[in-house]
Structure 1
Amino acid sequence: MSAIPNILKPPASSIGVVAWLRKNLFSSWANSLLTLFALWLIYNFAIGLWGFVASANWNVITVNLRLFLIGRYTLEQAWRVQASIALLSFLIGASWRMYGGIMQQVGIAITALFAFLALLPFENNSRFYLVGIVGLLAAGFGIAHVVRARRGLIALWLISPIAISIFLYGGVGSLAIVATDLWGGLLLTLVLAMAGILLSFPLGVLLAVGRQSSYPVIKGFSILYIEIIRGVPLVTLIFSAQIILPIFLPEGVTVERVIRALVGFIVFTSAYLAETVRGGLQGVGRGQAEAARALGLNGFQILWLIILPQALRNVIPAIVGQFISLFKDTSLVAIVGLLDLAGIANSVIAQQQFLGAQTEVLFFIAAVYFVFCFAMTSASRRLEKRLGVGER
């Protein structure tokens, strides 16, 4: 009996840099012209950008940095914001060690960002704080390497939004109340965006499921809600939340403007998320539910375990796109007198000593918006790759 010959795998193809350039960038005369034109554009853009960065007056940013970050938040209580950032950095460092993946990218990005900020011309106290944040991130990484408490870390992440919100607002124990009307800058932008995302997503999923429901009342209410809200501009909803919401409250009960604006964002975003999730639900074949029903699963189990995970997986890019849109739409709160990051930028531009510095200010806030939006996009791409979105 003859032995089975060993089957050798084909050798891995490897090409040098010159061969790769010739194959991908200079494969034809048309491709070569496009490559040279693109390089010319990149070169001129880089030269212009460097010239602007080197000659710009960045004092407008360093002098008003506190306004950009926390707005009119009480200076004596600003340590609460710093402590909240420190807690989040510690949790991110621990999650980086525990789970890797997306949290690893977030940890690396935060480390690079704070290390870069520490090189800018800030006061020594600010530099020590920035270095301390990186140190806390490293401490979380190191502690998670020794103490592997995954459930405890998940519990900390779940309670951290509520705990940080109460901590920033105050009114508990000896903490003085800092009214949300004093919140501003990046702090207000992040609070509105994160709270809007966390609260509008489950509401949007419920509306999408309700629109697919076989109960006429639930289906009719979901359709009516979605169609009415999608037909109204976001600006109108923000104004309406400021004026109409207090009418439905008991006499003597008041809601601060930030909460009213947040209600407008939640109502608006949930309607669009509902349509996005509904598209994902329709993309799941009927055979999935029939097979699950044949296995003895009830309606809730079929929806929760079979249908909904596949539907959400299929529409991850659209959902993240809606979240990015919400993050940028927070700038609309300026119309009701709230000063988020964009609102603070407008007030800084109007300062007498910095007249004419609008280019530097707008460049700075554009960079901040880009960093957060790019982070969400990168996390989305990694999640899509991990779940195999678009692959069969």
Structure 2
Amino acid sequence: MQSCFSVVLLALIAWALWSTGFWLVQRADWSVVSGNLPLFAIGSYPEASRWRPILWLGSLLLLTLFTLAQPLLLRRGIGLNSTILSWSWLLMMPLGLWLLAGGGVLDPVPSRLWGGLVLTLLLTVFSGVIALPLGVLLALGRCSELTTARQLSKIYIDGMRAVPLIAVLFFGQLLLPLFLPVQIEINRLLRAVVAFGLFAAAYVAEDVRGGLQAVPPTQSEAAAALGLGPWQIQRLVILPQALRIAVPALTNQAVGLLQNTSLMAILGLVELLGISQSLLANPAYIGRHLEVYVWLAALYWLLCTAMALMARQFERQDPSNLIATRRS
């Protein structure tokens, strides 16, 4: 009976794979994707300045490939240490913002013209920059012995986790401008980044709190015996280990943050999903929904897989290297 069930299951899998492959190769019309690759990548960015977002995307791709190949390069003696690699990633953020927004020798480009993959990555990266340090502070406050800090952190975390993300985004994009004076106008992209960051910080705080609770108490006792103060113990001993323990959970949050940026299509920002919806509204591409969404699924899969592989590589690092890097 089990053999028959296995044969039937394998036959169904083979049929599904064959049907999918036949549709991908023979029946699908990929002109809606191939003819609009620049739109998917950079949105309606001015044609004369398109080299700027393309340069940033190319730099991110090269740095990602270099990071993933780091173990192999180190064995050959041509890799970079983790400190230089970390600073390279950090410099990508101001570089991308300068290239896209302009300033100095570059012509300014308003954020309403940003879109596609560039906008998706910007929302993810800068929201993560807000969420991670704020989440660490909230986790420390939640574990603090100070009653005020502990209760305020608890109220923020529980309150934010009880609200759906779309409600936070609606408040930031539609309701917040109604409470501000007419002469004060906050950039829509900035409002989206702050809303994503504040929402994700509550979940990051719980992940980091789990890492803090997983560190044995003997670690802080040994550090105190060496003469380290409370903040030195947290900064040099506890936090590096807690963050390393929390890497899988934090990676899950980063992947979820990347995928949740698609909600901004509902509110008018033309990231990847927004670009797709605008293309499908074109009469020339009527009926091409399946091709567009298969392409989007493949693109999101590549991005999330790259994030997961880099996080796994970070997780496998020696904890002593992390502590040494933190001390430096």
Q: Does the alignment reach a TM-score above 0.5? A: yes
Q: How many residues align?
A: 317
Distance in 2, Cα, partners of 1:387 & 1:174:
43
Indicate the residue corresponding to 1:265 in structure 2: 196
* Counterpart among 160, 163, 166 of residue 229 in structure 1: 160
Indicate the residue corresponding to 2:58 in structure 1: 86
Distance in 2, Cα, partners of 1:376 & 1:148:
19
Indicate the residue corresponding to 2:18 in structure 1: 47
Distance in 1, Cα, partners of 2:149 & 2:157:
12
The percent identity for this pair of structures is: 38
CA contact (8 A) 2:44 2:115 kept: yes
Indicate the residue corresponding to 2:147 in structure 1: 216
Indicate the residue corresponding to 1:71 in structure 2: 43
Shift of 1:260: 0.5
CA contact (8 A) 1:181 1:256 kept: no
Shift of 1:378: 2.6
Indicate the residue corresponding to 1:373 in structure 2: 304
Indicate the residue corresponding to 1:130 in structure 2: none
Distance in 1, Cα, partners of 2:154 & 2:265:
31
Shift of 1:357: 0.7
Are 2:128 and 1:157 equivalent residues in the alignment?
no
| CA deviation map 1:216-246 (0-9, x unaligned) | 2222221121111111111111111124555
Shift of 1:306: 1.9
Distance in 2, Cα, partners of 1:38 & 1:294:
61
* Counterpart among 165, 172, 177 of residue 241 in structure 1: 172
Indicate the residue corresponding to 2:98 in structure 1: 166
Indicate the residue corresponding to 1:20 in structure 2: none
Which stretch has the larger CA shift, 74-83 or 364-373?
74-83
Distance in 2, Cα, partners of 1:197 & 1:314:
18
Distance in 2, Cα, partners of 1:335 & 1:77:
27
* Counterpart among 347, 357, 368 of residue 278 in structure 2: 347
Indicate the residue corresponding to 2:126 in structure 1: 195
Shift of 1:185: 1.3
Paired amino acid for 2:89: W
Distance in 2, Cα, partners of 1:33 & 1:299:
64
| CA deviation map 1:81-138 (0-9, x unaligned) | 12223333454566567x436x99xxxxxxxxxxxxxxxxxxxxxxxxxxxxxxxxxx
Shift of 1:363: 0.6
Closer/same/farther in 2, CA of residues 244 and 215 from structure 1, 3 Å limit: farther
SS in 1 for 2:266: helix
Paired amino acid for 1:167: L
Indicate the residue corresponding to 1:57 in structure 2: 29
Shift of 1:33: 5.2
Shift of 1:350: 1.5
Distance in 2, Cα, partners of 1:342 & 1:378:
24
SS in 2 for 1:336: coil
Shift of 1:73: 1.5
Shift of 1:174: 3.4
Distance in 2, Cα, partners of 1:369 & 1:85:
15
| CA deviation map 1:163-220 (0-9, x unaligned) | 22111111x2232221112111111111111111222111111110111112222222
Larger radius of gyration: 1
Closer/same/farther in 2, CA of residues 173 and 306 from structure 1, 3 Å limit: closer
Distance in 2, Cα, partners of 1:243 & 1:57:
38
- Gaps in structure 2 of 5+ consecutive residues: 320-328
Distance in 1, Cα, partners of 2:66 & 2:158:
43
Distance in 2, Cα, partners of 1:283 & 1:377:
22
Closer/same/farther in 2, CA of residues 151 and 312 from structure 1, 3 Å limit: closer
CA contact (8 A) 1:68 1:341 kept: yes
- Gaps in structure 1 of 5+ consecutive residues: 1-28, 105-140
CA contact (8 A) 2:130 2:198 kept: no
* Counterpart among 289, 292, 297 of residue 228 in structure 2: 297
Paired amino acid for 2:255: I
Which structure is richer in relative contact order (CA contacts within 8 A, separation 6 or more)? 2
| CA deviation map 1:14-43 (0-9, x unaligned) | xxxxxxxxxxxxxxx84x556544532332
Shift of 1:387: 5.3
Shift of 1:380: 3.2
SS in 2 for 1:307: helix
SS in 2 for 1:43: helix
SS in 1 for 2:215: coil
CA contact (8 A) 1:200 1:266 kept: yes
Distance in 2, Cα, partners of 1:276 & 1:60:
41
CA contact (8 A) 1:334 1:340 kept: yes
Distance in 1, Cα, partners of 2:286 & 2:182:
46
CA contact (8 A) 1:189 1:340 kept: yes
Closer/same/farther in 2, CA of residues 89 and 337 from structure 1, 3 Å limit: closer
Are 2:210 and 1:286 equivalent residues in the alignment?
no
Distance in 2, Cα, partners of 1:44 & 1:96:
35
Shift of 1:61: 0.8
CA contact (8 A) 1:276 1:315 kept: yes
Shift of 1:269: 0.3
